[in-house]
Amino acid sequence: MHKIAVISDTHGLIRDQVRERLSGCEAILHGGDINRQAILDELAEIAPVYAVRGNNDKEWAEQLPETLSLELFGLRIFMVHNKKYLPGNLGDRELVIYGHSHKYEERQVEGRTWLNPGSCGPRRFNQPITMAVVRVEENGGFSVEKVEIPHGDR
């Protein structure tokens, strides 16, 4: 089994409990609003990072793509920060990852899993602090675990 961490909207903060959950993963997917290169550098010390640019990622992030289509451990993934910018045709993508709203969302639509890991950066709008871990089985199946971080912790 392979574990992939899915985070978004860190806005310049990697909490200790988030770092602990990331440490057991083989890859980290970041759905944007990173806010500074140092966050990506810190994440890259834990596992390979795949990230898309969010609306708050300015000049420093010009090299980051707005969308990303990739395959990890046989799982076909598409990433974008704001789902309103998704292309019309997602092809054979099994997992669609997005962020922006800071609200955790996981749903099945037409054979695809749509996942917004929420925000695990600074707490906003009295929302829970969340991320997700995707477990990819050797047979190609996968499951998503919602991870909620207590908001009093950094």
CA distance 68 to 100: 16
Q: To which residue do tokens 């190609």 refer? A: 140
**Top-level CATH class of 6-131?**
alpha beta
Q: Could you read off the pLDDT of 97-128 as tens digits, one per residue?
A: 999 999 999 999 988 999 999 998 887 777 88
Q: How far apart are CA 89 and CA 103, in angstroms?
A: 24
Quick one: pLDDT at residue 88?
85
153 vs 12, higher pLDDT: 12
Residue 63: beta bridge partners?
none
Instruction: Write the DSSP symbol of residue 101.
Output: S
CA neighbor of 128 nearest in space, from 37, 15, 40, 12: 15
List all residues 6 or more positions away from 136 whose beta carbon is below 8 Å from its beta carbon: 1, 2, 3, 4, 72, 73, 74, 75, 142
Weakest-pLDDT range from 2-11, 20-29, 122-131, 139-148: 122-131
- State the average pLDDT for the chain: 93
144: pLDDT strictly greater than 70: yes
Q: What angle do CA 154, 25, 103 make, to 5 degrees?
A: 55
Q: What whole-number distance in Å separates Cα of residue 35 and Cα of residue 145? A: 25
pTM for the full predicted model: 0.94
**Strand-strand pairing, 112-117 and 95-97:** parallel
- d(CA 87, CA 31) in angstroms, rounded, equals 16
Beta-carbon contacts of 122 under 8 Å, excluding residues fewer than 6 positions away, are: 11, 12, 13
